[in-house]
Amino acid sequence: MKKTVLIASVAAFGLAAPVFAQDTTFADADTDMSGGLSLAEVQAIAPDVTSEGFDAYDADADGELNEDEFDTWKMANPEESSEDASTDEDDTETETEPYNG
């Protein structure tokens, strides 16, 4: 039952959660080396995370994300694809004459 609730929460909050660097590891984010990530530590890598969004991934409700919870959160919030982030030189729109053939 808990897994079902967690999966539903992941689906609901995964759509609205912020994007962050996918190469951020749990150890990198755990700046106080407590073995869990506080809301403040998560917000340091993803500033738009809300308390409600954080709580959705805190499956054991201990106020911190353990490594498994963090991994679940990361999978639900992938980094933008490089395709979306890149800019093309030909992005400018050009007006064309209609075909009158």
Count of domains for the chain: 1
**Domain contains 73:** yes
**What is the pLDDT at residue 77?**
81
CA 100, CA 71: separation in Å to the nearest integer?
57
**Domain contains 98:** no
**What is the pLDDT at residue 12?**
46
**What is the pLDDT at residue 27?**
97
37 bridge partner residues: 65
**Domain contains 66:** yes
CATH value at residue 53: 1.10.238
CB 37 within 8 A of CB 68: no
CA 15, CA 89: separation in Å to the nearest integer?
30
**What is the pLDDT at residue 70?**
96
Helices then strands, counting H and E runs in the chain, come out as: 6, 0
Render pLDDT for 33-55 as a digit per residue (tens, 0 to 9). 999 999 999 999 999 999 999 99
Q: Alpha helices of 18-100 — where are they, by DSSP H?
A: 26-29, 39-45, 51-57, 67-76, 82-85
**Domain contains 36:** yes
Domain span at residue 61 reads 2-80
Least confidently predicted of 9-13, 27-31, 68-72: 9-13
